[in-house]
Amino acid sequence: MLSTTTSLDREEIPEYNLTIVAADKNNSFYKDIAVMLVVVLDTNDHAPRFTQIFFTEITEDSPVGHTILQIISIDDDIGANAVITYSIIDQGDDVLPFSIDKTSGCITVLLSLDRETQDHYVVKVNANDSAWSISTDVTIDVTDVNDNKPVFTKQVYTATVTETRAQEVFVMRVLAMDADLGQNSQIVYLIDPPSEQFWVNASTGDILTKQPISLLHQSASLSLSITVVASDCGNVRSYSNSMVIVTVVQYNHFPPSFLPFQPLLSIPFDIAMGTEVVRLTAVDRDSNRSKSNTTIEYSLAGGNASDFFVINMDDGRLMLNRTLRQSLNSLLMLVVTAKDQGFPPLSSQAVVQFEVTGENQFSPQFSETYVTFSVPEDLPVGSVIGKVQAEDRDDGVNGVLSYSITSGNKYSPFSLGQRSGLIILVERLDYEKQGVYRIQITAKDGGWISKTGTVIMTVNVSDVNDNPPVFTSSQYTASVLENSAVGTPVLQVRATDADSSANAYITYSLMASGHSGQFAIDSRNGTVTTLDIFDFELKRSFEITVKASDAGNRHSFSVAHVNIQVSGVNEFSPAFLQHKFNLSVSENVSVGTRVGKVTATDSDEGLDGLVFYLLIGQSRWTGFVVDEQSGEIYITADLRKQGYSHATLRILAKNRGVITGLDVDEALVHINIVDTNDPPEFSSVLYSAEIREDSLVGNSVIRVVALDQDSVPEWSRFSYSIPDGNVNSSFFVDPVSGLVSVSAPLDRELWPLYNLTVTATDQGSPPATGTAHLVVTITDVNDNAPTLVNTYGQVKENQPAGTIVARLNTSDADLPPNQGPFSYWIVQPASGRSFTLTSDGVLSTSRPLDREVNSVFHLSVVISDAGTPPLSSTTMFNIRVEDENDNPSAPRNVYIEVKYYGSAFLGGFIGDVRPEDQDAVDTFNCSIRNGPLNMFTIPDGTCDLWSSPYQGEATYNITIEATDHLHPPVNNSIYVNYKGFTNASMDSCILFYVANTSVEHFLSLNYLKFVKALDSLFNLQASKTHMFGIKPTGDKVLLLAAVKSYNGQYLNREVASSISAAHRKLLEAQSNITLSYVTSDPCLVNPCLNGATCNKNVHIGPEVFVLESPSVIFVSPQNEIFSCLCSAGFAGTLCELDVDECDERPCEKQSVCVNNPGGFRCHCKRGFYGLYCSADVDVCLEVHCQHGGTCLNTEDGVHCDCSPGYEGEFCEHSVNHCASAPCFQGNCTNGLTGYTCHCPFGEKLYT
């Protein structure tokens, strides 16, 4: 029997392995062994136990059913005894928002959480194994999420401020609260939309002005509203806004001020209650700017009369509120306040005193009803004229009198003492203006209901001699005929005196002067008469001064000036200096030519001395005229047509007016008309002709004919020439026959009309020339092919067949009928299967077009004109297919490299991230769907990606949704890599010149391969590379890279350049590019042109370049690696531009400037030399004029002035006088200075 010897505990030893030995008691060597396994069965003798203290945090936006944590407990028992169930112990009235799974112990959210309502829970969880129960506290803290937006303390804030002069003035503070915690509850304020007048402190909510605010146009106030937005700082921000209304009012500068009033009022003791005692009025100096500042309220502020009176707050009327019968002979005092409604409100005070009196029984009385005073008009101002006085039998204030002028004192020079009754002169008196004043004076007592008495005062003003005589004019003008008798009246002057009686008596006299002895004046009436006989020819004017004196005061006078003109009398007649004149004139002078002048004189002066000339008798029809004022004789008709060689003119000289027979003189003028060499006359002054433009040289055009009727043979022989209008020397006129012919090929399109001047010049000395005009019209032939006016057209893709592309328009330099109608056709129909062209030039499509397949078509179009024979031309017509949005967008993967200089990228535009799309004109709208929104933004309506400032190295992955507004949107994957570089990078940079590529092509196809190849190369050197710059340079792309070893030191640029150059073929093969140079010195590739000096100068420019391609965008500052010092005459970044020195016009003397590379050259005119052609050379030293000719050196060139009988550039030819066939009959023999005609009946020489 196996039995236990002690209590078993399964939890300590769950089983026993027993070895049982059975031995023979008699022989111990006989035994057997058995092994027994004793398993201890479990009993539920252990309670569950928790292994830890449970604490967790959960966000308040955790959804219902979300598992918070799992409660774990252990039980040393096994089997059914170790099955534990969990439950939450009820905590009374508090409903917990959690539940627990009884089997797993997982606590889940049962109800929605709100941290702002409760942020801490202690949940008692019970663990039960059916026999034992234990519990533990589970602490659950609810953490905040940004589920509350800021809330303003007011929906609408109002504030009133005065107009400001300071830049920044505090207005008010707005306050918003956020029930969230931490960053989610931190509030920043902003004004949206921004205001020009106000700004808000983002942290405190203080609203301040941005600028001085003033009220215009005298406005009383100005209401301004802004919207203040409060935003928390959560990852997903919440906003709220509030309206702030700011009323700007005018500043209240001045308090009200009381208008003057009687400070001590006497009122009777029996005045009725409610009676208005006085009305106080206050005014505000702000009244011209604001109505609110001038709205004044009145109130009582103190004094022992406060119980007796009330005041109307609106108009200041003070009224009795309590009987005064108990206050007889008392003195009461009242303080009144006037307050305006301005901002800030201002006030002022006034004190009113009241004397309570008895009844006013008597009126003031004057001792006389009328009183009179007499004063001289020169009484000094301030003098007392007199005094008025009245009496009143009342006592006290009822008997106190005041005086005033109640009528008659309008514009009066008197004042009256209010208490004294003294009458004082306040303005100067003037008897001449007013001699009597009648004034009513009133005496008034001081009773509440005043009583009055009156007196009439008369003031008589007596005259004094205080006015001098005054002439009616300060300047007189008169005239007198010459030869007038002594005593002839000239004029009468008159003066007046404003004084009266004897003070106004006037005497006249002449003041001593150079002419006063030739005139006299009547002392009583002012009549001026002559004392001399005057001669107009000797003296024509006199100046005298007359004086008007006051008889009673010799120092009182005035003067006037008299100008006396002597009028002339016609005493003399005109007389010619000579009575016969002999003149000569050539018969060929033009009409209006001056022939000569006759002169007559007249001894009279002025108008009477003017002489007028006129022709009389038959002289008026001889072809001459005489100027009536100057006596000059002019030709009025063609003298050659008059037919006579002599003319006699009778000329009369006269004065103005009608001829009386005694005031004239006559002269004869003999004019000899001299015969002259008249020019040949053409049969017509205007000839016209037409000729075809294909006429051959030598073809005749027209014959011009001239005739010379001079009798002298040399004057009648002439030759023809064309001196003007003969462009390109197109025509020639035979000098003898006048036949005009073609001398050069004609082209109507270049010169359709010639206006030729044809001359006929005789052999006179000097020669006479006749002129005619010949208009030659060139007629058209079909010698120009037609050309298209416009060779470009466009059509939208996908348009139906038959859509018109263009209506071809053609020009032809020829004239109809050698122009249209034009015919059109396409030369190569195979290349133009997409288009059809009608014979009249309408080009249209023959099928729909697809721009993405073919965006440009080139058609060979033939145009033929309608001329005879027809001409044609072939022109390439170019058609551009315009895009439509007919292709969906495709996703795009873009790698953006942002390279920045210094410590941080300053932010800005980093690339266009629109999707791939075959269309060219689509507009896209992009938005960020995934990625840090606080780091990147895209403005509405664009796909421009902008970056915030960034410091450090990082790569961001952004998903951007893009749509073309027609097809389904697509998502672009954008990778943005930030990496900075420093001065050390630039100092250690290698320069790679990539040949035969563009930046876009390199970035799209080769950039990533080259970076990888370069990294692989220098990984072998335990270094890494950084490409920080890309720069286009003509047909090459320049790459700037630096190499840094793993120990942080930059590899020397020469070493790095040598390694790269040694593995150039490897880099080219791995990146599929061609490297033209690999160097560390940019000047080694000789970038500067035209002999300029290259200086290495690696530096960073101010601009940031964004280089774009479909797959890679490279953002970096502007890199400059060298500078060029240009030689003289060159400019530009690479000294590639030749400076045109000719722009400064350096060449002188009308020479021609020619610009050369790096300089210029002046092509001098003949006779000048030097760098600027400024030196003059005497070319005549090198020119030999023959036969006695003289060399002339002028600015127009060198000319030989030939001796008679010679001509030519150097006078090398004899003149052929017989060339014009001057001999009508017989033979002509040429001579040195003329010719000889050998006539049949004798011989005569004409030279």
DSSP 801-851: TT-EEEE--EE-SS-TTSS-S-EEEES-GGGGTTEEE-TTSEEEESS---T
Q: Are 980 and 953 in contact (CB under 8 A)?
A: yes
Please compute the mean of the pLDDT values over residues 778-804 and round it to a whole number: 91
Q: For residue 378, what pLDDT band results from cuts at 50, 70 and 90? A: confident
CATH fold for domain 1179-1215:
Laminin (2.10.25)
Q: How far apart are CA 579 and CA 583, in angstroms?
A: 13
Give the integer Cα–Cα distance in Å for 358 and 637: 121
Residues with Cβ within 8 Å of residue 1170, at least 6 apart in sequence: 1162, 1164
The span from the CA of 998 to the CA of 390, in Å, is 118
Instruction: At 994, give phi and psi (nearest 5°).
Output: -90, 125
Name the residue with tokens 């004139």. 585
CA distances from 772 to 679, 733, 760, 762, 915 (A): 12, 13, 9, 15, 80
pTM of the model: 0.40
Pairing state between β 276-279 and 309-311: unpaired
Q: Which of 163, 219, 171 is nearest to 191 (CA)?
A: 171
Task: Burial-class residue 770 by CB neighbours within 10 Å (0-12, 13-18, 19+).
Answer: buried
Asked if residues 1113 and 911 have their Cβ atoms less than 8 Å apart, the reply is: yes
**Given a cut of 80, is residue 1204 above it in pLDDT?**
no
Strands (E), 519-676: 519-521, 527-530, 541-550, 553-567, 575-576, 580-586, 594-597, 600-601, 612-615, 624-626, 632-635, 646-654, 664-674
Residue 927: pLDDT band with limits 50, 70, 90: very high
Helix (H) or strand (E) holding 713: helix 713-716
Query: pLDDT of 979-1011, one tens digit each?
Result: 999 988 888 999 999 998 899 999 999 999 999
pLDDT of amino acid 1143 = 84
> Pick from 539, 626, 542: which is nearest to 576 by CA?
626
Residue 33, number of CB atoms within 10 A of its CB: 9
Statement: 470-567 belongs to CATH 2.60.40.60: yes
Q: pLDDT tens across 285-318, in order?
A: 876 655 555 688 999 988 888 888 899 998 989 9
106-115, 807-816, 829-838, 1144-1153: least confidently modelled range: 829-838
C-alpha pair distances (Å), 101 with each of 53, 87, 106, 111: 19, 8, 5, 15
Most confident of 360-369, 392-401, 969-978: 969-978
Taking the CB of residue 402, how many other CB atoms lie within 10 A of it? 17
Predicted local confidence at residue 513, as pLDDT: 78
Whether 240 has a pLDDT exceeding 60, the answer reads yes
- Is 681 exposed, middle or buried (CB count within 10 Å of its CB: 0-12, 13-18, 19+)? middle
Domain 575-674 fold: Immunoglobulin-like (2.60.40)
The CATH architecture annotation of domain 257-357 reads Sandwich (2.60)
**C-alpha triplet 407, 409, 415: angle, nearest 5°:** 120
Half-sphere exposure of 1227 (CA within 13 A, CB side): 2
pLDDT at 711: 65
Query: Per-residue b/e over 465-482, b at no fewer than 16 CB within 10 Å?
Result: bbbbbebeeeebeeebeb
Rounded to whole angstroms, the Cα distance separating 1044 from 225 reads: 59
DSSP 1203: P
Q: Does 1243 score more than 70 pLDDT?
A: no
What's residue 980's pLDDT? Answer: 92
Rounded to the nearest integer, the mean pLDDT of the chain is: 86
Please write the tens of the pLDDT for every residue from 388-441.
899 988 887 888 888 988 887 777 788 888 888 899 888 888 887 888 889 999
pLDDT of 1030 reads 93
- pLDDT for residue 130 is more than 50: yes
**Closest to 531 in 3D by CA, of 522, 520, 541:** 520
Is 686 in a helix, a strand, or coil?
A: strand
DSSP element (H, E) containing 1013: helix 1007-1019
Q: Which fold has domain 365-462?
A: Immunoglobulin-like (2.60.40)
Give CATH for domain 787-882: 2.60.40.60
pLDDT of residue 359: 82
Percentage of the chain lying above the pLDDT 70 cut: 95
| Tally of CB atoms within 10 A around 437 | 19
pLDDT of residue 643: 65
pLDDT at 896 exceeding the cut of 90: yes
Question: What is residue 715's DSSP assignment?
Answer: H
Q: What's the confidence (pLDDT) of residue 1247?
A: 40
Specify the pLDDT at position 573.
Answer: 79
Share of the chain above pLDDT 90, in %: 28
User: What contacts 24+ positions apart, CB below 8 Å, involve 1060-1063?
Assistant: 1060/990, 1060/992, 1060/1014, 1060/1017, 1063/1017
The pLDDT score that the predictor gives to residue 1224 is: 65
Same CATH fold assignment for domains 887-981 and 1179-1215: no
How far apart are alpha carbons 925 and 88 in whole angstroms? 55
pLDDT of 323 reads 85
Quote the CA–CA distance of 648 and 19 in Å, as a whole number.
191
pLDDT of 717-765, one tens digit each? 888 999 999 988 899 999 888 999 999 999 988 899 999 999 998 877 7
Answer yes or no: is pLDDT of 521 > 80. yes
Q: Is the pLDDT of residue 806 over 90?
A: yes
User: Distance from first CA to last CA of the chain, Å, rounded?
Assistant: 190
Q: Name the band, by pLDDT with cuts 50, 70 and 90, for residue 672.
A: confident
pLDDT digits over 1058-1072, tens only?
A: 888 889 899 999 999
Residue among 122, 139, 121, 128 at smallest CA distance from 105: 128
Q: How is residue 548 written in tokens?
A: 């008007």
Domain boundaries, the chain: 49-143, 151-249, 257-357, 365-462, 470-567, 575-674, 681-779, 787-882, 887-981, 1140-1176, 1179-1215
Looking at domain 681-779, which of 3.40.50.11820, 1.10.3720.10, 2.40.30.10, 2.60.40.60 is its CATH number?
2.60.40.60
Q: Domain 151-249 belongs to what topology? A: Immunoglobulin-like (2.60.40)
pLDDT of residue 1246: 43
Predicted local distance difference test score (pLDDT) of residue 752? 92
Superfamily of domain 49-143: Cadherins (2.60.40.60)
pLDDT at residue 830 greater than cutoff 60: no
Query: 1210 versus 913: which is more confidently predicted?
Result: 913
Question: Per-residue pLDDT averaged across 777-782, rounded?
Answer: 91
Tell me the three state secondary structure of residue 978.
strand
CA distance linking residue 828 with residue 820, whole number of Å: 23
Q: How many C-beta atoms lie closer than 10 Å to residue 592's C-beta?
A: 9
How large is the average pLDDT for residues 891-911?
A: 92
Residue linked to tokens 């590739």:
1085
Say how far residue 920 (Cα) sits from the centre of its chain: 36
What is the structure's pLDDT at 288? 60
CA distances from 614 to 256, 580, 619, 655 (A): 93, 15, 10, 11
Q: What is the pLDDT of residue 106?
A: 93
Q: How many CA atoms lie within 13 A of 12 on its CB side?
A: 3
- CB atoms near residue 158 (< 10 Å): 13
- Cα distance between residue 1246 and residue 762, in whole Å: 13
Assigned fold of 887-981: Immunoglobulin-like (2.60.40)
Q: What is the pLDDT of residue 658?
A: 66
CB-CB neighbours of 461 under 10 Å: 22
**Interval 913-935 mean pLDDT:** 89
Measured distance CA(241)–CA(66) in Å, rounded: 34
**Average pLDDT in the 520-547 region?**
87
